[in-house]
Amino acid sequence: MNYSGPTVFELGEVAALKAAVKNFRKVETTLVGSGDDAAVVAVSDGRFVVTTDTMVEGHDFRNDFSSGYDLGFKAVASNVADVAAMGAKPIALVVAMVITRDTTQMWLEDFARGLQSGCNQLAPECEIVGGDLASGEQIVIAVTAHGHLAGANPVLRSGAKSGDKVALAGTLGRAACGLDLLLHQDKTLAKAYDEWVAVQLRPTPPIELGVLAAKSATAMLDVSDSLALDCNRLAEASDVSIELDRTKLEGYAAVLELAAQSMDARDDLVRDPLDWVLYGGEDHALLATFPKDSEIPRGFKVIGEVVKRQKDAVTLGGVVLQARGWDSVSS
C-alpha cells in the first residue's frame, strides 16, 4: 500500500489510462471494446441488465485500510452481485472514476489489477469495456455493471409468495466484523483475524449461484446493506412477511465469536456477533425465496419462511427485526 512515482496528473490521462488498462482481458461478448466513444456488447437474447454503485473515499472506504487493488476488486464484487441478484450473468463493466492530484500511476495500475482480478475470480465472462477519468478532491469509484439473462426471466424483489422458503448463499457478518477489526484500537487484531478483514476489503459473493437460482427463485436480492434491511426490502416489495429462524443464523455468528471475544478483551465493550450477521452489510450474499416444494439449489441454505403479510415485515424467532443497516447518504 506504499505508492510512489509519478502522479496520473503528471503523466496525463491518455498515457495513464493506456498503462492501467493494458492488462484488461477481452471476452467474446465485447464487440467493440474501450477506446471509442462507446463500447458495443452482445446480448443474444435481446435484453441487458444494468446496475450502478458508487464508492467514495472517506465515506465508503479509507485509503489506509484499502489498497487500490482492494478497491478495484470490491467495486467489481458489489456491482456484479447486483447483476447476479437479477439471475443474470455479468458480461460488461464501465468504470467512472474521480482521482485527485496526488493519485499516483502506481495506485491506478493497482486499482486496474484489482478490477481485472475481481472479474477473473467472480465473473470470468465479464470485461471492463470502458470508463472515464476525472479530477477532484477525493477518490470516487462509480461502476456500472451489465448482465445477460440468456432467456431467463429476471428475478425481482417482488415475487415472493406466502409459503416460500427463504434461503441464502454466501456469508453474513464477516465484512462487518472485518471493519470493526480494522477500526479497533489494537491494530494486531486485524492481522490475527485477517480472514474477516479480507471479506471487508475484497468480498467474494457467490455470483455463479445467481444464474443457478434464477431457474426457481421467486424473488432475489443481494445483501449489500444488511440482512435485516434487505429482508425488509424483499418483504415490502413482495407484500409478504418473513419469519427468520434464529437457529439457522447462529452458524454465521459462531465463526465470528472468537474475533468478538478478542476485541472485547481489549476494550470495555461486549459484542454480540449476531449483530454483525443481522445488521452488517457488504458480504453481498444472495438472499432468495423459493417455492416450498422446489429443490433448494446447492449453495443456498434455508434461513426462514415467507408468510402472509402481517404487521411486522420481518421477524426473528418471533421478535420484530427492524430495517436497520447501512445508509449510503447519511454515512
Segment lying near a second copy (by CB under 8 A), choices 115-123, 137-145, 242-250, 260-268 = 137-145
Lookup: cell for 72: 478495484
Site string for a second copy, 178-217 (x = CB under 8 A): ----------------------------------------
Asked if 102 interacts with a second copy (CB under 8 A), we say: no
Closest approach, Cβ 304 to a second copy, in A, equals 20
The secondary structure of residue 104, as a DSSP letter, is B
| Cα 59 from Cα 78, distance rounded (Å) | 16
The secondary structure of residue 216, as a DSSP letter, is T
Closest approach, Cβ 277 to a second copy, in A, equals 21
Lookup: cell for 149: 439473462
Segment lying near a second copy (by CB under 8 A), choices 67-75, 95-103, 171-179, 183-191 = 95-103
Question: 327 CB contacts (<8 Å, ≥6 apart)?
Answer: 225
CB-nearer residue toward a second copy: 118 or 147:
147
Segment lying near a second copy (by CB under 8 A), choices 50-58, 163-171, 239-247, 262-270 = 50-58
Among 8, 27, 176, 231, binds a second copy (CB under 8 A): 8
Segment lying near a second copy (by CB under 8 A), choices 111-119, 131-139, 268-276, 300-308 = 131-139
What's the distance, Cα to Cα, between the start and end of the chain in Å?
25
Q: Is the dihedral of CA 17, 22, 23, 24 positive or negative?
A: positive
Strand partners, 315: 243, 320
Among 6, 18, 26, 38, binds a second copy (CB under 8 A): 38
CB-nearer residue toward a second copy: 262 or 328:
328
Measured CA distances, 252 to 54, 130, 175, 225, 275 (Å): 27, 38, 12, 16, 11
CB-nearer residue toward a second copy: 79 or 116:
79
| Cα 63 from Cα 155, distance rounded (Å) | 35
CB-nearer residue toward a second copy: 176 or 221:
221
